[in-house]
Structure 1
Amino acid sequence: MQLNWIDWVVLCSTLLAIVVYGTWQTRGSKNVQDYLKGGNTSKWWTIGLSVMATQASAITFLSTPGQAFNDGMGFVQFYFGLPIAMIIICMVFIPLYHRLKVYTAYEFLENRFDLKTRILTAILFLIQRGLAAGITIFAPAIILSVVLGWDLLTLNIIIGLLVIIYTVSGGTRAVNVTQKHQMVVIFIGMLVAFFLIVDKLPQDITFKKALDIAGANGKMEILDFSFNLNNRYTFWSGIIGGTFLMLSYFGTDQSQVQRYLSGKSVKEMQLGLLFNGLLKVPMQFFILLVGVMVFVFYQFNEAPINFNPTATELVMNSEFSEAYKNIQKEQETIFYEKQALIKSFLNSGTSQSSDAIATANKNSDILRHKAKILIDKVAENRNIKVESNDKDYVFIHFILNNLPRGLIGLLLAVILSAAMSSTSSELNALGSTTTMDLYKRNTGEKTEEQMVKVSKWFTLLWGLIAIGVACIANLAENLIQLVNIIGSIFYGNVLGIFLLAFFFKFVKGHAVFSAAIITQVIVIGLYFLNLYDHINLPFLWLNFVGCAIVIMLACLLQLIIKNDTTTA
C-alpha cells in the first residue's frame, strides 16, 4: 500500500520531533551520574510513564489486538501479578538500591555475594535483553515491510538509528524525556483507533451490542480459574507465574531498574512504580478490547482468509491457488450466513442464536486453519520463509484499509514510537550494565569524562548489535509471546539469585554461582522439552520453576560446601 502524503507528514514529523527534542533537551552530560541516572531528577510521573513505555513496545500494539481478535480477552490475566510485584519492589528492592547508591541492579550482588555472581547475572541480562532489543526493532519492521511493501533491512536500520541518535547523545535522561512524549502519542493514537472502530460499526450496533456479539463468540471470557496446564493464560498462571515474571522484570532487569533509579527520592521511585501498577492492567485491557472490537468489525465486513498479504500472494501464485480460492468462497458463504444469525441474536438474545454464531465462527476458523496449511505447503515446497500465522497482521491490516488519511500516519507513528521507546530503554540499560558491571569493575578507576565516553560507545555497540539481531530474526507464533518466552527462560533464575541475596543470609557466593549455572541449563532444557511436547509446562511457569530451583539448589549446595569463606 502507498501512503498518502498527509500520512507521511504526520508520521515523519512525529518521529523526528521526538528524536530532535530528546537530543536537544539532554545534550551535554558531563558525568556518569548525569548520563546513567539522569542526574536523579526524575519526578514520579516521568518514572511511571517511562516504565510503562519501556514495557509497551511496538509488539504490544501489533500483537495484543491480534491476540484478542483470535483468543479474546483472556490474555489480560497475564498481567494480574503486576500490581503485586510493584508493591513488593517498592517495599524491598527500591529502598535497598537507593541506600547502596548503585548504578545497576547487579552491583548489589557483588556486595552480597562476590564478583563472579555479579558478572554472571549481568551476562544473563545482556544475553536476554540484547535478543529482546533486536526483536523490538524487528517486530514493527517485519509487519510494516510486508504490509507497506517497504524494504525490511532498510526499516530495521532506520528504526535502530533513530533510537541510537538520542539514546547515545543524552543517556538515561534522553530516554525518560522522549518516553513521556511517546506515551502521549501512543495513548492518543489508541483512543482514536478505538472510537473509529466503534464508529465504523453499523448504525444500529451500539457498543453494548458489540460486546454482546463478542461475548457470544467467547471473546469476553476474561477469567479462567482452571488448573489445566493446557491453558496458557489462566488466573493462576497470571497471579503466580506473572508475579514472578514481573518481579524479575521490574526488580532485576536493568532496562526497568534504570528507569526508577533516576528518581529524585525513594518516594518518587515508589510512586512511579505504583502508578505503573495501577495503570498497566487497565491499559492492557483497553488494548485487548480494541482487538475485540476489530473482531466485531469483521463480523459485518469481509475479512481476508489470511491477514498476511505476502502469504496470500504466495499461495495465489502456486499450484494451490484453486484450492485457496475455494476456501475463500466457503468463507464468503459463512460470512453472509452469519449476518442473518447476528440479526436473529440481536433481536432475540437467545442462547440458541448465540451458539449458532459461535459455530459459524468456529467453521470460519477451521477454514482459516486450512488456508494456513496451504501456505505452509507452498513455503515448504519452495523452501522459503513466510508467516502463515497472521495474528500480528490483524490490527495493521485494519488500520491501513479502514482509517482515514492522516490517522493512518498517526497510528503508524504509535507503532514506531512504541518500538523506539522500548528499544531506547534496552540500549541504555545494555550500555550501562556493560560499562559498570564488566568494563569499570575489571579495568579499574577512570575519569568521569572517560566513563561517559565509554558508556556512549557501548550503547552504540549494543544498538548496532540489536539492528543485527533484527536483520536475522524470524517470526514466532506471536511476537508478544516471543519476547515473554525469552524473558521467562532467564528471569526466574535471576530473580531467584536476588531473593537469595535478600532473604537467605546463610547462603554465600560459591553456592549461588554454581546453582545459577545449573539452573539456567535446566530451565533451557525444560523449555525445549515443552517445545517438542515431551512435557506440558507453559512458558509462564518457567519463571516460578527457575526461581524455585536456584533457591533450593543454592541452599543445598551451601549445606554441602562447609568451607565456603565468601562473606555475605
Structure 2
Amino acid sequence: MVLSWIDWTVLAATLLTIVGYGTWVTRNNKSAQDYIKGGNSTKWWTIGLSVMATQASAITFLSTTGQAFSDGMGFVQFYFGLPIAMVIICAIFIPLYHRLKVYTAYEFLENRFDLKTRSLTAILFLIQRGLAAGITIFAPAIILSIVLGINIVYLNIIIGVLVIIYTVSGGTKAVTVTQKQQMFVIFAGMLAALFITLNLIPDEVTFGDALEIAGASGRMEVLDFSFDLENRYTVWSGLIGGTFLALSYFGTDQSQVQRYLSGKSMKEMQMGLLFNGLLKVPMQFFILLVGIMVFVFYQFNPSPLNFIDASTKTVLTSEYGDEYRSLQQKQNLLFTEKKELSLSLAKNESAILIEKISKLDSVEKTYRLESKFLIKKAIDSAYTTKYNALKSEVEALKSNPKSETYISKSEELNTLYKSAAKDTQTNDRDYMFIRFILNQLPVGLIGLLLAVILSAAMSSTASEINALATITSIDLYGRNIKEKKDDASMVRVTKWFTLGWGIVAIIIACFANLAENLIQLVNIIGSIFYGNVLGIFLLAFFFKHIKGNAVFTGALITQVIIIVGWWYDWMPYLWLNLFGCVLVIVITNLIQSVTKSK
C-alpha cells in the first residue's frame, strides 16, 4: 500500500505538531515539582483526558475493533468494574496521597512498612510496566510495517524517539498537555471512521438494520451472566476481576497515579478520575461499535480470508496454494449467499433468516481457521514435518479407532491443528481495522486514522516511560543511593532515567512478538502483577497490625504462585487480579501471626 502525499502530510503534521507543542510549552520546567508532578497545576478535565489517553494505546484501536469484528461486543464487560474502582480510589487513595504530598504511590509504603517493601513494589511495577511500554510501541509498529512496507525496527525507533523528545524535555507536564491534543485527534478520527463506514454500507440498510445483521451473527451479545470460569468476559468477571484490576491500575500504577497527582487540588484529582469513570465504558463501547460496523460492511463487500497480505502471498506461492484458492472460492460463494440473506433481513426481520445467517457465520469462521492452518504450514516447515508425521501415525492406527493409542494420537493431531490455526504468525484480527482503513477510507482520512494509531501509541508510551523514570529516580535511586541530592540534580537524573527507559522500551519492541490478541497480552501482563500490588496497598490501608517483614515475604511468595498459576492456566487472567489480592492478604496475615515479625 502506497500512501498519497496528502495522507503523509496529514500524518506528519499531526505528529510533529504534538511533539513540538509538548516540547515548547514545557521547556522551562526546572524544578522536581514541575518536572515530576507538573507543578500541581492540572485541571480536572485535563486529568480526565490524560488518564484516558494513558490507557487508550494504539492496541485499544487496533485490537478492540478486531475483537468486535471476530467475537462481538462482549469485551465491553471487561470495563464494567472501572466506574466502581474510580469511586473507591477517589474516596480512599487520593485523600491519602494528597495528604502525604507524595511524588509516587510507593512512598506511602515506606511510611507504612519499610524501605524494602517500597523497593519491592516499585520493582514489580518496573517489570510489568517496562514490558508494557515496549508492547505499546511494538503493537502499531508491527502492523504498520507490514501494511506500509516499512522495516519494523525503523518504526519502533521513530515512535520511541518522538516520545523521548518531549518526555525528556518536559516530564509529566509535557505528557499531560500533549495528551489533550492526542485525545482530540483520537476522538475526531474514530468518529470519522464510524460515519464513513456507515456511509459505505448499502443505502437501503439503516443503522438499525446493521445492528440486526450483526446480532444475527451473534456480535451484539453484550451481557453474559454465566458463571463459567472458562469464559474470559462475563458480567461477573468484569465487575469483580475488572474492579480489582482497575483499582490496582488506577490506584497503584504510577503511570496513572502520576497523571492525577499533578492536579491543582484534591477536588480536581477526584473530578478528573470520576470524569474518566463516566466516559471510559461508553468510549470502549463506541470503539467496539466501529468494529461491529466494519463487520457489517464486510457482509456486503468481499473480505479476505486473512487480513495479512504477506501471509496470503506466502501460502499462495507454496505447495498449499491450490488448497488455499479452493477455500477462497468457497468463501466467495458464501459471501454471495450472506449478502443476499443480509439484504433480505434488512427488509424483513425473520427468525429463519437470522438462523441461516448465524450458520453461515459459523461456516465462515471455519474457513478462516482452515486458512490460518494452511498459512502456518506454508510458513513453518518444521511444523509441517511434525504435523505430517503425526497424521501418518493416525492413519496407520485407523483400523482400531477405539484403541487408546488412536484416540490419544487423534486428540494430539486435533490440538496441533487448532494451535497452528491460532498461531501468532497467522493471527490477523489486529490487522483488520488498519487494512479496512487503507483499502476503504478516502485520501486524507487515511492519514488522520494512522495519526490516531500513532498518537495513541505515543500517549501511552510517554506516560509509561515518564512513570518508569519517576519510580526509578524517586523510589530506587533517591532512597537507596546515599549521596546528597538537590532539586536540580534530581531533575537531571530523572531526565537520564527517562531517556534510558525510552531506549529500553524501543529494545523490547524490537524483540517482541505478537500474541493471540495484543490488548489481551497487555491486560494479561498487568493481571500477573496488579493483584499482588493492590493487596499490598490494602494491607497498608486496613491491616494496622501487619509489619514490613511479613508483607515483604508474603508478596514474594504470592508473586511466585501467581506466575505459576498463570503458566498452568488455573483461571482466566482477569480473575488473577482478585486471586493475587486475596492471596497476598491471607499469606501475609498467616506469616504475621506465626512469626510476630517486625
> The TM-score by the shorter chain falls in which range?
over 0.9
Shift of 1:347: 3.0
Residue in 1 that maps onto 2:549: 510
Shift of 1:337: 1.1
Residues 1:480 and 2:519 are matched in the alignment:
yes
Moved more, 337-346 or 269-278: 337-346
Q: Is the 8 A contact 1:167 1:174 kept in 2?
A: yes
Residue in 2 that maps onto 1:217: 217
Residue in 2 that maps onto 1:538: 572
Residue in 2 that maps onto 1:323: 323
The 5 Å alignment of 1:352-501 reads 352-381=352-381, 387-444=425-482, 445-501=484-540
> Compared with structure 1, are the counterparts of its residues 495 and 272 closer, same or farther at alpha carbon in structure 2 (3 Å cutoff)?
same
Partner SS state of residue 230, structure 2:
coil
Give distance in 2, aligned partners of 1:86 and 1:33.
25
Shift of 1:389: 1.2
TM (normalized to structure 1)?
Answer: 0.97
Moved more, 180-189 or 384-393: 384-393
Map Cα deviations across residues 306-333 of structure 1 (whole Å, 9 max, x no partner): 0111211111121101100000000000
Give distance in 2, aligned partners of 1:506 and 1:314.
63
Give distance in 2, aligned partners of 1:82 and 1:328.
42
Give distance in 1, aligned partners of 2:128 and 2:310.
30
Q: Is the 8 A contact 1:186 1:417 kept in 2?
A: yes
Shift of 1:386: 6.4
Shift of 1:57: 0.2
The 5 Å alignment of 1:227-246 reads 227-246=227-246
Residue in 2 that maps onto 1:549: 583
Residue in 2 that maps onto 1:183: 183
Give distance in 2, aligned partners of 1:89 and 1:498.
12
Shift of 1:378: 1.7
Q: Which amino acid aligns with 2:580?
A: G
The 5 Å alignment of 1:101-250 reads 101-250=101-250
Residue in 2 that maps onto 1:51: 51
Map Cα deviations across residues 423-454 of structure 1 (whole Å, 9 max, x no partner): 00001000000000000101244011111000
Shift of 1:387: 2.2
Give identity over the alignment, percent. Answer: 67
Give distance in 2, aligned partners of 1:272 and 1:22.
21
Q: Which amino acid aligns with 2:263?
A: G
Moved more, 443-452 or 471-480: 443-452
TM (normalized to structure 2)?
Answer: 0.93
Residue in 1 that maps onto 2:414: none
Map Cα deviations across residues 84-143 of structure 1 (whole Å, 9 max, x no partner): 000000000000001111100000000000000000000000000000000000000000
Give distance in 2, aligned partners of 1:337 and 1:505.
67
Q: Is the 8 A contact 1:310 1:386 kept in 2?
A: no
- Counting matched residue pairs gives 559
Q: Is the 8 A contact 1:311 1:386 kept in 2?
A: no
Structure 1 unmatched runs, 5+: none
The 5 Å alignment of 1:517-528 reads 517-528=556-567
Give distance in 2, aligned partners of 1:196 and 1:435.
47
The 5 Å alignment of 1:270-285 reads 270-285=270-285
Residue in 2 that maps onto 1:24: 24
Shift of 1:379: 2.1
Q: Which amino acid aligns with 1:31?
A: S
Give distance in 2, aligned partners of 1:5 and 1:345.
41
Q: Is the 8 A contact 1:379 1:386 kept in 2?
A: no
Give distance in 1, aligned partners of 2:544 and 2:164.
41
Structure 2 unmatched runs, 5+: 385-422
Shift of 1:382: 6.4
Give distance in 1, aligned partners of 2:462 and 2:340.
50
Q: Is the 8 A contact 2:205 2:343 kept in 1?
A: no
Give distance in 1, aligned partners of 2:501 and 2:486.
23
Partner SS state of residue 380, structure 2:
helix
Map Cα deviations across residues 24-63 of structure 1 (whole Å, 9 max, x no partner): 0000211111100000000001100000000000000110
Q: Is the 8 A contact 2:229 2:572 kept in 1?
A: yes
Residue in 2 that maps onto 1:309: 309
Q: Is the 8 A contact 1:80 1:239 kept in 2?
A: yes
Root mean square deviation of aligned Cα: 1.1
Q: Which amino acid aligns with 2:208?
A: K
Residue in 2 that maps onto 1:334: 334
Partner SS state of residue 42, structure 1:
coil
> Compared with structure 1, are the counterparts of its residues 528 and 490 closer, same or farther at alpha carbon in structure 2 (3 Å cutoff)?
same
Q: Which amino acid aligns with 1:328?
A: Q
Q: Which amino acid aligns with 2:60?
A: T
Poorly superposed stretches of 4+, deviation over 4 Å = 382-386
Shift of 1:18: 0.2
Q: Which amino acid aligns with 2:441?
A: L
Shift of 1:549: 0.3
Residue in 2 that maps onto 1:70: 70
